Every structure is written in C-alpha cells, then in structure tokens.
C-alpha cells in the first residue's frame, strides 16, 4: 500500500482524474513542506536527502532500475502496470477536453481596480496584463491609472502577451497566431499556428509553446495525441527550430510518468491532451555549478496533466530533471529565482498555493497558502519582486495580490471588467515592470524616483 506524505495529501485530491492517482506510484513521496504559521518569518528547512530520481537523467535511470526495500517504490514496469490498471473513463474524458472559464462569479462585483496599496511596503513599478476576452493589453500604475494601452481589431483574444522595452508586445492568440505589435498597436508581423499558453523572450529569440496532433503508436494506435512543441522564432517572426516535449519525456528516464492511454476509447474527432504543457522558460546557467541540469540554454517547463515541472536539454532532446508528482496538482508558471530556487503556482482542487522550491533538496521552503478563499482552478501566475515580495495572479477570479515574505497582503487589484452576471473576467498573468526599463514612455509619465531618507543626504556642515 502506498504511503502519502502531508504534502501529497494536501494537493492530491483531484476528483475523477484516475491516471493522476496512479502517478503516486511514479515517484518516491517527498517530505513535509516547510509551512510557517501565522506571520512568523519563513524558516529554512532541515537538510533532507534528495529523492532517488534527483540529480540527472543518468542517475535517475540507474535508480529506477535498482530495487529497494521501500514500500512506496515500484520498478518501472510495475509503475506502468499500475497506471494501466487504474485508468478510468472519466480520466480519459478529461484528457480529451479541458475548458477555461472566461470569468468567475464575484459576490463583490462592485469592487474594481486597486483595492489596497500600502505604499511603504510595495515594490514600485507599472503593471502589465491582458484580460481573458480582451484583444489587447493594459499598462497601469500602482494606483490603477492607465499608463498605456494596446488594442487591435484582429480576431481573437490575447491569451498571453510579453512587453518589450521599446513598447512592442509579443502576443499569443490561442490556437490561431503568434504576433508582434508596436507601441501604437500596429501589427508588425503574425505567424499562424496552434500557439498556446506561454512564451519567453530574450534579446535574440522568442520561445513559444505550440502543438500539433500526431498519432503516436507508443501512446495510442489510432487516436491523435496533442504533441506540445517548443518553437523558437527570431524577433522578426522566422521559425528557427522546434522541440517535442512529449518525445523528450518519452525517451528520458522519466518516460514512465506518461499515462497509459493505449486502450482508451476516444471519441471521433477528439484529441488526447496528455501533457498540457503550460510554461516555458530558458535557463541562463547561473546555477549550473549546482547541477548540470541547470545548464545555460536548458528549458524549464510545466506539464499540467502529469502534475510535474521539468528541465529539458534541447541538445539531447531529453528531460534531465523533474519534480512534482505527489506534490503538485495542475500547477502553472514555475520560474527560477535569483537565489536558485523555483517559484510556482500550485492550483490544487479547492484551494491554491504559491510555493518556493529548493530544487536541490526538493523541499518547499516557503509558501503562500491562505486557504479556500484563495483558488484558481485552471490558471495562475507568480513573480518574485526585487524587494522580496511576490506578485500573485489569482487568474480565474481576476484578482492580483502582492504579498510580503511574511505573507502580508500589501497590494490588491480587481479586474474592472465585470459582466452583467457579476462575473469578473480572468487575468492570465500580471507582470510588475520597472518604468525605467520602458524606453518608449515619455520620461514625464514615469513616477518620480523615491526620495532618499534625510539621513542619507549629503550636506555641508
């Protein structure tokens, strides 16, 4: 019988996802998360040995093939059998369709804009975001005043957009196109394709999630499977290369995490969304000395439907690091921090949390988990700010919070877009931006620099 830790019990309540329950056999359970109580400062956890599948794909494979006297351990073939034996029609139905709500009913629908702003404790800046049904994006200040707006009449809402310093935005219109607009909302270029969820932009390239339906015999003999691709484009919109996330997982030491759907009855015209990859990020190599998996150019991804985040090596087209099963539930937006840890939004079933993970010890060292009042079922986002605070987008409900390390809420925003049914429109992600980095803005429109304390000013005696 499998033994579950407290962390697994917290997040492992997904009703009807039978294949997810089977994944309990796929990884050795982790230790309890470090959960500070009340407003006490977060404490660093005690040292913990990494799980057997920790450091690299090679060591993971060696560990997977070596039997151990641990009741929660199963050899790879046994894991596959467990996944197959626990497959269920409802799980297959959920793999065939995953809907997103446009908004959530809010009994306090009259609330709008910035609801709380404790200026002495917040990180100064502008806030960039797109609403669920909007064909554009807004840049607002800390008081909710509009600084700049992008709008287009082209079909399709902006699922996600990234702001560049010159005022251009790179935009995903889900399953339709990847596009670039200038600061005046004029189209620069557009590429048709099944783009979705997320993108990453650096000085030279755009990494974006796309997908294609393929019949993969190792997954299902007839039904098409959605293969998530990481495509790399130039800043001019030219495709340079691509990588299959599904193939990278399948051919790695972690391939056993793929759910068994080979005998599933799939309705005609449907496609199996096995991974549902929802994030991509390029590593800069700052922590490669800690683990080769964190090398420059490797890719951090989130695979929602197997409750896992992973690092892919694009040179070998393989997964070299993974974490999540038994600890996460339908997570979003993992991102590396300057301290070498990973911040991510763990959606849960009836409550969500934002966690900070030490990827070496695989321990949760900080979390924001206020309870059932904080929940986003299908989306979520987080950003660690320069002052140590965390900006959190409670996406489905259309709220954004800034919280301190002690979990005090010091800024709160409610999406002003509310329909006649009192449903507040969702926000995929809000990003706090340093106004000084935005070269397209009139200097007069930027907030004044924060004055130095009187004691710090120089004065002649």
Q: Comparing C-alpha atoms, which of 132, 177, 139 is closest to residue 378?
A: 132
Q: Where are the beta strands (DSSP E) in 164-238?
A: 169-173, 177-181, 187-192, 199-201, 205-214, 225-234
CA distance 84 to 63: 22
3-state secondary structure 259-314: CCCCCCCCCCCCCECCCCEEEEEECCCCCCCCCHHHCCCCEEEEEHHHCEEEEEEC
State pTM to two decimals: 0.79
Residue with tokens 């996330």: 245
Task: Give the three-state DSSP class for 150.
Answer: strand
Is the Cβ–Cβ distance between 428 and 333 less than 8 Å?
Answer: no
Tokens at residue 342, please? Answer: 């990973």
| Burial (0-12, 13-18, 19+ Cβ within 10 Å), 44 | exposed
The rounded distance, in Å, linking the Cα atoms of 344 and 265 is: 34
- In CATH terms, 6-439 corresponds, of 3.10.20.90, 3.90.1010.10, 2.120.10.30, 1.10.1040.10, to 2.120.10.30
Residue-by-residue pLDDT tens, the chain, 461 positions: 333 333 333 333 343 343 333 333 333 334 334 444 333 344 433 333 333 333 444 444 443 333 333 322 223 333 333 333 333 444 555 555 556 778 899 999 999 999 999 999 999 999 999 999 999 999 999 999 999 999 999 999 999 999 999 999 999 999 999 999 999 999 999 999 999 999 999 989 999 999 999 999 989 999 999 999 999 999 999 999 999 999 999 999 999 999 888 888 888 888 999 999 999 999 999 999 999 999 999 999 999 999 999 999 999 999 999 999 999 999 999 999 999 999 999 999 999 999 999 999 999 999 999 999 999 999 999 999 999 999 999 999 999 999 999 999 999 999 999 999 999 999 999 999 999 999 999 876 666 555 444 433 333 33
């Amino acid at each position: 019988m499998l033994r579950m830790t407290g962390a697994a019990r917290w997040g492992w309540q997904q009703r009807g996802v039978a294949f997810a329950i089977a994944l309990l056999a796929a990884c050795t359970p982790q230790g309890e998360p470090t959960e500070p109580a009340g407003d006490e400062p977060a404490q660093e956890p005690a040292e913990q040995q990494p799980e057997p599948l920790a450091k690299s794909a090679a060591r993971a494979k060696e560990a997977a093939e070596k039997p151990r006297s641990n009741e929660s351990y199963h050899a790879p073939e046994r894991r596959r059998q467990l996944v197959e034996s626990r497959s269920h029609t409802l799980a297959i139905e959920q793999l065939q369709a995953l809907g997103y709500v446009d908004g959530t009913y809010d009994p306090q629908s009259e609330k709008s804009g910035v609801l709380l702003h404790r200026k002495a404790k917040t990180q100064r800046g502008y806030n960039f975001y797109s609403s669920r049904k909007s064909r554009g994006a807004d840049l607002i200040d800390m008081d909710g005043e509009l600084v700049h707006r992008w709008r287009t009449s082209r079909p399709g809402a902006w699922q996600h957009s990234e702001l560049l310093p010159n005022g251009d935005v790179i935009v995903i219109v889900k399953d339709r196109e990847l596009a670039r607009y200038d600061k005046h909302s004029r189209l620069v270029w557009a590429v048709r394709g099944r783009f979705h969820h997320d993108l990453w932009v650096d000085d030279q390239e755009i990494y974006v999630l796309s997908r294609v339906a393929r019949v993969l015999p190792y997954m299902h003999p007839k039904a098409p499977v959605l293969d998530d691709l990481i495509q790399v484009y130039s800043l001019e919109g030219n495709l340079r290369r691509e990588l299959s996330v599904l193939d990278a997982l399948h051919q790695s030491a972690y391939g056993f995490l793929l759910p068994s759907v080979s005998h599933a009855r799939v309705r005609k015209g449907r496609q199996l969304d096995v991974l549902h990859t929802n994030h991509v990020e390029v590593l800069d190599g700052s922590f490669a000395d800690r683990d080769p998996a964190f090398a420059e150019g490797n890719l951090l991804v989130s695979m929602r439907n197997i409750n896992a985040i992973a690092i892919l090596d694009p040179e070998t087209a393989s997964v070299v690091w993974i974490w999540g099963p038994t600890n996460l539930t339908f997570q979003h937006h993992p991102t590396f921090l300057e301290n070498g840890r990973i911040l991510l939004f763990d959606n849960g079933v009836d409550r969500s949390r934002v966690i900070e993970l030490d990827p070496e010890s695989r321990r949760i060292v900080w979390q924001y988990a206020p309870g059932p009042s904080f929940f986003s079922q299908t989306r979520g986002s987080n950003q660690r700010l320069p002052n140590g605070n965390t900006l959190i987008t409670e996406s489905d409900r259309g709220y954004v919070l800034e919280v301190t390390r002690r979990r005090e809420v010091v800024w709160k925003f409610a999406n002003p877009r509310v329909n006649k049914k009192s449903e507040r429109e969702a926000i995929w992600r809000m990003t706090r931006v340093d106004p000084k980095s935005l070269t397209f803005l009139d200097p007069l429109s930027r907030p004044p620099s924060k004055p130095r304390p009187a004691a710090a000013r120089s004065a002649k005696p």
